């Protein structure tokens, strides 16, 4: 029997597996944007956009031990990555007022009174279909990168489980009993 993985190997496997699933989720959300062609003001388009941005950014927003390095980003997608992170940080997840005129306009609070009740609207980030297609192509490439990072661990430590039904949990800090079947 092979020796159990080191704690570092388990963390690397966890980090890349989590990133892979985050990119798969991003892919699913962008595919829905492309497939359904929602109108610009659709709350579903808004929800899919925020979900795609949030899922995409998750792996890059962790504590150092589990944070995905930006080194995995193919050079041709660096600008797209930076734009997605900025949209997630400044519009989808947080609101930064700041002094920047562009971001101040995006984060502007528009309001009116309707029947004596305040109705306040903030601008929301909306991913157009063409951008969703670009993001979808990009995360498809990132999924391949994550697969290349995950595959050696699977081959070395989990190959015997590939044909076995069940759900398993990885214990990061346990040296023995590091894998538990939960169903």
The gap from C-alpha 131 to its chain's centroid, in whole angstroms, comes to 16
- C-alpha to C-alpha distance for 178 and 180, rounded to whole angstroms: 7
Nearest to 127 by CA among 20, 38, 22: 38
pLDDT for 97: 61
3-state secondary structure of 74: coil
pLDDT for 7: 92
pLDDT for 144: 97
- C-alpha to C-alpha distance for 72 and 155, rounded to whole angstroms: 21
Q: pLDDT (tens digit, 9 = 90+) per residue, 19-45?
A: 999 999 999 999 999 999 999 889 999
3-state secondary structure of 5: coil
Q: Full-prediction pTM beyond 0.75?
A: yes
List, in order, residues 6 or more apart from 67 with CB less than 8 Å away. 15, 59, 60, 61
Nearest to 94 by CA among 69, 66, 70, 122: 122
Residues of the chain short of pLDDT 70, as ranges, are: 1, 94-107, 123
**Helix residue ranges, H only, 100-165:** 101-106, 129-153
pLDDT for 103: 54
pLDDT for 109: 75
pLDDT for 46: 92
pLDDT for 107: 67
Provide the residue ranges of all domains of the chain, joining segments of one domain with +: 7-181
């Amino acid at each position: 029997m092979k020796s159990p993985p080191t704690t570092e190997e388990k963390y690397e496997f966890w980090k890349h597996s989590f990133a892979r699933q985050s990119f798969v989720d991003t892919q699913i959300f962008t595919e829905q944007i492309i497939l359904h062609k929602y109108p610009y003001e659709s709350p579903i388009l808004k929800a899919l956009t925020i979900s795609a941005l949030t899922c995409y950014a998750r792996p890059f927003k962790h504590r150092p031990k589990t944070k995905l390095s930006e080194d995995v980003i193919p050079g041709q997608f660096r600008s797209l990555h930076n734009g997605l992170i900025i949209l997630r940080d400044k519009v989808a997840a947080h609101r930064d007022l700041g002094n920047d005129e562009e971001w101040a306009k995006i984060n502007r609070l528009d309001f009116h009174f309707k029947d004596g009740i305040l109705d306040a609207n903030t601008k929301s980030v909306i991913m157009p279909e063409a951008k969703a297609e670009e993001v979808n192509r990009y995360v498809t490439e990132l999924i391949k990168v994550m697969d290349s990072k995950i595959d050696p661990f699977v081959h070395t430590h989990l190959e015997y489980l590939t044909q076995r039904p069940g759900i398993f949990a990885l214990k990061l800090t346990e040296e023995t009993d590091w894998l538990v079947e939960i169903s």
